[in-house]
Structures are given as C-alpha cells and as structure tokens.
Amino acid sequence: MTALAIREDVPLAPLTTLGVGGPARWFVKAGDEAVVIAAHAWARARGVSLRVLGGGSNVVVADAGVDALVVHLALRGVDVRRVDGAVEVTAAAGEPWDALVESTVEREWAGLECLSGIPGLVGATPIQNVGAYGQEVSDTVTAVRALDTEAGRVATLPAAACGFAYRDSAFKRDAPGRWVVLGVTYRLRPGGSPTLGYAEVERHLARHGGAPTLRAVRQAVLTIRRGKSMVLDDPADPNRRSCGSFFLNPIVEATDAAAVATRAADAAMPRWPQPDGRVKLSAAWLIERAGFARGQRTGPVGLSTRHTLAIVAHDEARTDDVLAFARRVQEGVESRFGVRLTPEPVLWGPA
C-alpha cells in the first residue's frame, strides 16, 4: 500500500493565485496516481472530505480554511501518438497548462494556440471546459482519465461522456467532486491552420502584418492577455493576485437580452447568439455599464486596473473582503440590468 506523507494545517493561500484563505486540515502532495488513490481511500475510511488542488487559479479558499484532505496534484508526463493523420497528446493532470500549449505550438500542432497564457494545470481544463479567444478544450479533448471517487476506481471517459458546455462539464455540473482528473487526451492537427474566430486577435494580427501562423496567434493572445493582466506570471504586476475572470459571461434568453439592451439604451450592446437560441452577453460590459470602473477599490480588494472582470486581492485582503466585493458587483449589475452574474471560481468552505 502506498505510504502517504500527510501534513496538517497547511496554508493554502500561497498555493492559489488570489493569495487569500485559511489552511487545509490535512494535506498531501500527489506525484503519481497511486498517491491520489491512496489519499481517496484514507479520506473515505475516516469520513473526511476530499478536495483536489491544481494550480490554484480557480479556487477561493474561505478564511477559516477547509476541513478536508486537500490533494495537491503534481502528476507529470506527456505522451504523444499519431492517429489517422492527427496527433493525440495525453498530458498528466499536474502538467502546467501553458507549457503544454507552447510545446504544441512549437511543433506546429493546431488546436490549443488560442488557449495560450491561461494559468493553472492540465487537470482543470476539462472540468471548466477552459476556453478563450474562439477556442475551447472541448474542441480537442478525446478522453479524460479520472478517479471515480464513488466507485473507487480509475476510468477513462470519452469526450461524449464529459457533458461539455460553456465553461462547464459533467465533472463540474452533474457530480461536483466525484471525479479526480488524472490525465487528459487532446487530438490536434499537425500543420493545421490556427483558429481565427475572435475579432480582437484578428485585429492584432492585422496591425502587425504577416501570415497568421500558430506562433503568431499564440503571441497575439499572450500580448492581449498581458495587456489585461490575465497572464498572472509577472510579480511586478499590481493586478497579479486574481483568479483571472471572476464572473462568467451570462447566457440568457433572447427576450431577456433584448430587455437588457433596452435598459442599457444601447442597440450596439455586445451579444453573441448561441446554437440553442439563447444569447451570450459580456459580463465585463455589464459591470462597466453598471457603474464599476477599472481599478475601483473597497479597502484591500478591487477591480483590476486593466480588466473589469478580474477581482484583485491587495495586501491585507481576506477572503471575506473578496466575496463582499463580488456580491457588490453582482448586486449592482442585477439592479441595473436584471442579470445575475455567476462567479467562475469555486469557493472552498470549512466543510
């Protein structure tokens, strides 16, 4: 049986990009699947909750911490195989996401280039159905290897079983906490053309000229993200302590979108029709039109000076401060437009 090096009362704030919150009651770092499986068995035998921490870019930990066994994923490894003219890349859950994207772009394998600069690890990508600038991981995911904590066994789920939707999946929506992602397989296109479905990226490429190669698209995305303090890798950036986008872009019925446009008195309100007839709105646009400005602060918490979707924790901030500020933004947008914004990061509480 795998020995577990379990520690107690381990601070979690340094392991998250927001940098707030209390400790884990129990904590173990998992460098291989055997440790993850043993940690699950340990928690189950003691009736203890199990939480999984990756890069910490999509987690808000309560000030009281979390009364659970937190498994910090550090599984590494990348395998590649050729399948019917495509390349299937299988990456362990603990692989840094942007490093994986960079390596695929350098090898001229298309499919992930617009997802450059997103913080976190591979394991989070199918859970959140990570997406940006015209791509989502659901475009390329073919299989997810995961520990089923209900059955106590490892299974490989095909993409069709993952229930992908906008920033959502069956892992997140249908059975939160049931599945611990161990590895993900992406099918990419060798020598394929980059995805150009986002106006901001196209404008950037047009200004700089040249052919829209995978490398050019990656650099464009990184430049745009850095301009919004959304790369989170610069220790000198005053906006670095955030979860990136704190709110999801709301998807509403077409009649509700029309009502929002009427209340805004702006026929040019940004909106994107969805395949199911609903309409996606811009959360950043709603926040700004509700009267919130970039850099606006309440004590040690405020909006990024570069992007109204990011809530930034400054020195002396606590989780309660972050959540109070988020509620203020939600209430302001709902009062102005009748739309309730949904937070994107997951809140970890004491139990």
- Concerning whether 167 is annotated as a catalytic residue, the answer is yes
* Rounded CA separation 25/4 (Å): 15
Known active-site residue 245: yes
Per-position b or e across 124-162, b if 16+ CB within 10 A of its CB: bbbbbbbbbbbbbbbbbbbbbbbbebeeeeeeebebeeb
Instruction: Classify strands 49-53 and 153-158 as parallel, antiparallel or unpaired.
Output: unpaired
Q: What DSSP state is assigned to residue 121?
A: B
**Alpha carbon distance 326, 321 (integer Å):** 9
Q: What's the half-sphere exposure (Cβ side, CA atoms, 13 Å) at 345?
A: 30
> Which one from 245, 271, 304, 318 is the annotated catalytic residue?
245
Tell the residue number behind the tokens 């209430």, with chain if given: 331
What end-to-end distance do the CA atoms of the chain give, in Å? Answer: 28
d(CA 138, CA 128): 10
Single out the catalytic residue among 25, 167, 218, 318. 167
Residues annotated catalytic, as ranges: 167, 245, 344
